[in-house]
Amino acid sequence: MAGEIGDWLCPVAPIQRCSGGRDPGAGWTCDRLSPLEEIASVPAILKAVGAAVEKDPRIVLAGKKGPITLEKVAHAARRGDPLVGQVLEGVAQTLGWVVCQMDSLFNPEKIILAGPLVMLGDSLLGPVRKAVGRFCSELHQEPPLVVDSELGSFNGALGAAALALHEWEPKR
């Protein structure tokens, strides 16, 4: 499970600077922390958009037949639905915070977002880049370039296959 960051506790948008400082006696007070998977996964996004649809019938997805899918969310985002945009903005805030943490750990030149969320394209990538810029500047670090994977939804399997081929040595 190395590299699996879905269980990282992350601030939930809107992200405020935590108070308390480094004084151990002061403690830290953040509004809310949740596992990344509960904030920025496909099920979390679908749940948040579903809640928005229930609250506001003007949302592009209201009245659509069938369950809310990531494809429908991506379509609504491309059409500029403001409530879907708000959901994605919150997700982007948390992802931007995570990217800056990863940048602090590894200092990469580029971070590639992979998995099904790349289907959201610039509707998510743009706000993520904006959040990365904001959080990294607060840490006085140069933000990495953040891009979507171009390998599609099977990028993990393709990477594993490429690694296996790279490491494979024919019998002599």
Report field, pTM of the whole predicted structure over 0.85: no
Give percent helix, percent strand, percent coil of the chain, each to the nearest 5. Answer: 50, 10, 40
- Kindly report the average pLDDT of the chain as a whole number: 85
**Contact between 104 and 112 (Cβ < 8 Å):** no
Residue 28 pLDDT class (50, 70, 90 cuts): very low
* Rounded-to-integer distance, Cα 110 and Cα 1, Å: 22
Mean pLDDT of the region 82-92: 94
Mean pLDDT of the region 145-167: 84
Question: What are the structural domains, with CATH classification, of the chain?
Answer: 9-167 (3.30.420.40)
Could you count the other beta carbons within 10 Å of the beta carbon of residue 17?
7
More confident residue, 79 or 153: 79
Distances in whole angstroms, Cα of residue 27 to Cα of each of 14, 20, 22, 24, 144: 21, 5, 8, 6, 31
- Amino acid 35 reads P
List Cβ neighbours of 90 (8 Å cut-off, separation of 6 or more).
Answer: 12, 13, 14, 39, 48
Give yes or no for residue 96 having a pLDDT over 50: yes
* Rounded-to-integer distance, Cα 40 and Cα 21, Å: 27
Q: What is the pLDDT of residue 27?
A: 45
Residue given tokens 């393709």 in the structure block: 158
* Rounded-to-integer distance, Cα 57 and Cα 63, Å: 8
Residue given tokens 């140069």 in the structure block: 142
- Let me know if 13 is exposed, middle or buried by CB neighbors in 10 A (0-12, 13-18, 19+): buried
Q: What is the pLDDT of residue 30?
A: 57
